[in-house]
Every structure is written in C-alpha cells, then in structure tokens.
Amino acid sequence: MPDSPPESTFTRRTPRRFAVLLALVLTIPVVWAIVETMDRGALSEVLHSIGERPFGLSMVWAGFGAAFLLRALAWRRVLPDLPLRHAVAALHVALGANHVLPLRLGEPLRIVSVVRRAGIDWRRAAASTITLRAADTLAVMGLGVVAGMGYFRRSMGVWLVAGLAGAVAAGGIVWL
C-alpha cells in the first residue's frame, strides 16, 4: 500500500483558524452583553477594594490554587499513574465546563481530559472521578454536620444522601 501524501499546511491549520474565528464570533456579543448590563458602581467598588488590600486578593488566589493542587494530589493517590500536570489540567477543564455547561457536565470532560492527555483507561478515569466526587459529597456533609448538628440530627434525607454517597465511594474504590 503506497504511503499517503503528507498533509498540507492548509488542511492542518484550517480547523484551528475556524475555531479561533468561531470563538471570536461567540465571545464578542457575550462581552458586549456583560459590559452593557454590569453594575459599574459595584465594579468600581471592587477594584478600589482590591487596590486597598492586594494581600487579601493574593491570599484568595493562593488558596484557590492550593485547592486545585490538593485535589490533584488526592486524585493521584487514587490513580497513581496520572501525572500531576494532567490532573491539574483536567480539574481546570471540569471547573470551566461546570460554569458553562448544564448538569455539571464538567465531570465527564474531566474524564475525557485525562483519557486523551495522559492515556489513562476511561474506566479507571471514570471510577476515580466518581469515587472522588462521592468523597467530596461526604466531606461537605461532614462539614455540615459539624456546622449544623441540630439540623442534621432531625433530617433523615441528609443521612440517606450520606449513605448513598458512601455506597458510591465504596463502589468506586472496588471498581478501581
């Protein structure tokens, strides 16, 4: 079978150029709508506050970055052959997609990201993601128990959700 001819520069770059053009076409009206509807007084107040206390903002950013790093490190404990950089990138993809897409569809994109970038088997990526999301749910519920003990003692639904999340976490660990 003869070798196929090399791909031309035009065919390699056309999809990327189209994607950039599409992004601009979609971004410009969104930015315009935001600028037209934003509360400029509130924006001015926020910028003034940042200027007065830049250390506070830097601490918030540091905490946000540390949260991503800690989640990526936790993911690597569950999925040891996942490189840290791919774990962090997938978490960022998931966060961005969760802000833009409905129904928290960032989590499936998190799986797709590590499958494509790191070559991890999709079943292992899915099992680790489901396990960690269930563990996240249990952790948030644990914080809720500590913060609002009286409510949690009276609410049977909360304990049902905790049991379900625990079962999902255990199932995910077994699946791994």
pLDDT (mean) for 151-155:
66
- Residues 151 and 153: their CA atoms lie apart, in Å, by 5
The pLDDT confidence band at residue 78, using thresholds 50, 70 and 90, is: very high
pLDDT at residue 90, rounded to an integer: 96
The pLDDT confidence band at residue 149, using thresholds 50, 70 and 90, is: low
Check pLDDT > 80 for residue 80: yes
Most trustworthy range by pLDDT among 15-29, 37-51, 142-156: 37-51
Q: CB of 143 within 8 A of CB of 116? A: no
- Residues 35 and 28: their CA atoms lie apart, in Å, by 11
pLDDT (mean) for 53-82:
93
Question: Cα-flanking dihedrals φ and ψ of residue 86, to 5°?
Answer: -75, -35
Residue 79 has a CB neighbour count (10 Å cut-off) of 21
Check pLDDT > 90 for residue 84: yes
The pLDDT confidence band at residue 110, using thresholds 50, 70 and 90, is: very high
The pLDDT confidence band at residue 10, using thresholds 50, 70 and 90, is: very low
Give the mean pLDDT of the chain: 85
Question: Cα-flanking dihedrals φ and ψ of residue 82, to 5°?
Answer: -85, 120
Q: Which residues contact 168 (CB under 8 A, 6 or more apart)?
A: 130, 131, 134
Cα angle 38-40-45, degrees, rounded to a multiple of 5: 125
Which three-class secondary structure state does DSSP give residue 110?
Answer: helix
Check pLDDT > 90 for residue 152: no
Q: Give 78-97 as a DSSP string.
A: HSTTS-HHHHHHHHHHHHHH
Q: At what angle do helices 40-52 and 54-78 cross, to 10 degrees?
A: 90
Residue type, 6: P
Q: CB of 176 within 8 A of CB of 78? A: yes
Check pLDDT > 60 for residue 5: no
- Residues 109 and 126: their CA atoms lie apart, in Å, by 10
